């Protein structure tokens, strides 16, 4: 007996059948158990050509948008702000970005975490040069406070465009099972150097898709290798993670806001989202992330 074939739960059945069809059942189970999984290129149904096109499109978009030269990613000495800025809103930069976002296996695993109504909230690149900095442990489920439950509201589907062969590549690290803590990291839990939690380090070849439940704590270690680590980060969310009205599209009469100053807060005028190619308000990130640790923040 195969329950998914019985038609009692159309949405669940469809999600289960897609997992089965793409050989993703083990990965779905790992997401439930550990909050993270790594899907190899052959399961994603992508070839070396896809990875090459994706990596090339990211490099080209970065070079064109930021007026820099990257060249050969194996040996590139590029560094600085030009690698980071204007990295969002990629869908129309190259057809490969829509291909990545709608890959059938990617959608199957996104829908396991977020339901069939999942939306692509945004996608961005990471181009990581040699660096001595790490990225502190954090959750990507900003604004989901303790009490928000174990259900994933956010999922990160990151396409590795270069090999993560070892720690010298500056890979992502995870605290397995931390999605069950149901909150973001507190300040004393964030430093990787003296992390009280056991972590696992991502090790995989280019073309693999790293998938994590948005609440899974993760960060990344310094990169000592020359050249660049290149990743396409795809953030999917549940469909409720949307405002009803786009207040910012039609600014209110300043006199009204002056009369009712709380309007600026409740309409989200100081919200981090939405932004387009670049977040122009990095100072808004920390307060937003803090809302993942305190239901009254
Ligand atoms: O550099 C990394 O691998 C981690 C990036 C990250 O935190 C993210 O994509 O949410
Ligand atoms: Fe993150």
Is there a domain that residue 129 lies in? yes
pLDDT per residue as tens digits for the range 135-157: 999 999 999 999 888 899 999 99
Is there a domain that residue 257 lies in? no
Q: How far is CA 164 from the centre of its chain?
A: 17
* H-helix segments, 45-103: 48-66, 95-101
Is there a domain that residue 270 lies in? no
Is there a domain that residue 294 lies in? no
Give the Cα separation of 33 and 78 in Å (integer): 39
Residue 33 has a pLDDT of 98
Q: Is the CB of 208 under 6 A from ligand 1?
A: no
Q: Is the CB of 87 under 6 A from ligand 1?
A: no
Residue 153's alpha-carbon distances to 46, 117, 162, 216, 229, in angstroms, are 27, 12, 28, 11, 28
Range of the domain at 34: 3-245
Looking at the structure of the chain, the number of domains it has is 1
- Give the CATH number of the domain where residue 128 resides: 2.60.120.620
- 216 Cα: distance to centroid of ligand 1 (angstroms): 11
Residue 194 has a pLDDT of 87
Q: How far is CA 117 from the centre of its chain?
A: 18
Is there a domain that residue 235 lies in? yes
Q: What is the mean pLDDT of each run of 10 residues along the chain (297 residues)?
A: 96 98 98 98 98 98 98 97 97 98 98 98 97 97 90 98 98 97 95 92 98 98 98 97 87 94 92 94 94 93
**Residue 126 Cα: closest atom of ligand 1:** 1
Residues whose CB falls within 8 Å of the CB of residue 130, separated by 6 or more in sequence, listed in order:
79, 223, 224, 225, 226, 227
Ligand index nearest the alpha carbon of residue 160: 1
Per the omega criterion (within 30 degrees of 0), is the bond before 274 cis? yes
Quickly count helices (H) and strands (E) in the chain: 9, 9
Q: Is the CB of 185 under 6 A from ligand 1?
A: no
Residue of minimum CA distance from atom 9 in ligand 1: 233
Residue 102 has a pLDDT of 98
- 53 Cα: distance to centroid of ligand 2 (angstroms): 24
Cβ burial of 100 (10 Å; 0-12, 13-18, 19+) is buried
Is there a domain that residue 277 lies in? no
Residue 121 has a pLDDT of 96
Ligand index nearest the alpha carbon of residue 210: 1
pLDDT per residue as tens digits for the range 8-32: 999 999 999 999 999 999 999 999 9
- 172 Cα: distance to centroid of ligand 2 (angstroms): 9
Secondary element (H or E) of residue 25: helix 25-34
Q: Is the CB of 233 under 6 A from ligand 1?
A: yes
Is there a domain that residue 202 lies in? yes
pLDDT per residue as tens digits for the range 237-247: 999 998 888 88
pTM of the model: 0.96
Residue 243 has a pLDDT of 85
The token pair that represents 151 in the structure block = 């259900």
Is there a domain that residue 297 lies in? no
């Amino acid at each position: 007996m195969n329950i998914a074939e019985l038609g009692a739960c159309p949405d669940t059945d469809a999600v289960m059948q897609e997992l089965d069809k793409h050989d993703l059942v083990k990965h779905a189970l790992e997401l439930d158990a550990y909050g993270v999984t790594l899907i190899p290129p052959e399961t994603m149904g992508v070839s070396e050509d896809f990875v090459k096109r994706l990596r090339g499109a990211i490099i080209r978009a970065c070079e064109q948008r930021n007026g820099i030269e990257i060249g050969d990613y194996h040996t590139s000495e590029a560094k600085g702000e030009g690698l980071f800025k204007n990295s969002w809103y990629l869908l129309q930069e190259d057809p490969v970005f829509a291909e990545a976002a709608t890959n059938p296996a990617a959608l199957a695993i996104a829908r396991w975490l977020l339901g069939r109504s999942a939306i692509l909230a945004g996608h961005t690149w990471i181009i990581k040069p040699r660096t001595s900095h790490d990225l502190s442990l954090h959750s990507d489920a900003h604004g989901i406070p303790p009490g928000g439950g174990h259900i994933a509201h956010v999922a990160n589907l990151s396409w590795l465009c270069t090999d993560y062969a070892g720690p010298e590549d500056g890979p992502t690290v995870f605290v397995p099972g931390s999605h069950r803590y149901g909150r973001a990291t507190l300040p004393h839990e964030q430093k990787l150097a003296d992390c009280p939690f056991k972590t696992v380090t991502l090790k995989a070849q280019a073309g693999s898709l790293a998938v994590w439940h948005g609440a899974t704590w993760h960060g990344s270690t310094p990169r000592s290798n020359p050249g660049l680590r290149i990743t396409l980060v795809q953030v999917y969310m549940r469909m409720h993670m949307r405002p009803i009205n786009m207040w910012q599209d039609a600014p209110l009469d300043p006199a009204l806001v002056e009369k009712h100053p709380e309007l600026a807060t409740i309409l989200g005028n100081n919200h981090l989202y939405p932004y387009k190619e670049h977040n122009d308000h990095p100072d808004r990130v920390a307060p937003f992330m803090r809302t993942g640790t305190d239901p009254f923040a």
